[in-house]
Amino acid sequence: MKISKVSIMLFGAALVFSSGARAGDSNKATIQLSDKVVVDGNSINPGRYTVEWSGSGSTVQVSLLQGKQTVATFPAHVTEQATPNSATAYGSTSEPDGSKALTAIYIGGKRFVLELGQNEAHQEAATPQAK
């Protein structure tokens, strides 16, 4: 009896820890920015970045990392979609000064979009850029 109770507890603990590890991995993606974009007032150069997000519900905190260095941190709104994104991509809009503002990040294989806190006019003008 004791052995079976201990086995069940160990099995349960293993499930809990393995699902937590997978959840942590699922909040990370790699994106290739082909344009110089502005995020929360910070200019981000073209290149390969890791996108990480944390939080629950409809608002999350997003970090853009280049290597191990965080280059931008900003809030984003999670918007559900009917179908999964075919690739990791981003949306941007042109600003009056000619710069491009990052408006959304589409995570490949996921059924949601991370939308940055831009006004609705910017979100409507956003154009996805493939990876």
**pLDDT tens track, the chain, 131 positions:** 555 554 454 444 444 443 334 344 579 999 999 999 999 888 999 999 999 999 988 999 999 999 999 999 999 999 999 999 999 999 999 999 999 999 999 999 999 999 997 544 333 444 455 54
C-beta pairs of 27-31 under 8 Å, 24+ apart in sequence: 27/52, 27/53, 27/54, 28/52, 29/88, 29/105, 29/107, 29/108, 30/88, 31/88, 31/89, 31/90, 31/105, 31/131
How many CA atoms, within 13 angstroms, populate the side-chain half-sphere of residue 33? 25
The reported pLDDT for the residue numbered 130 is 55
DSSP state at residue 67: T
The reported pLDDT for the residue numbered 56 is 87
The reported pLDDT for the residue numbered 119 is 42
Q: How far is Cα 45 from Cα 26, in angstroms, rounded to an integer?
A: 25
3-state secondary structure of 27: coil
131 neighbors 88 (Cβ within 8 angstroms)? yes
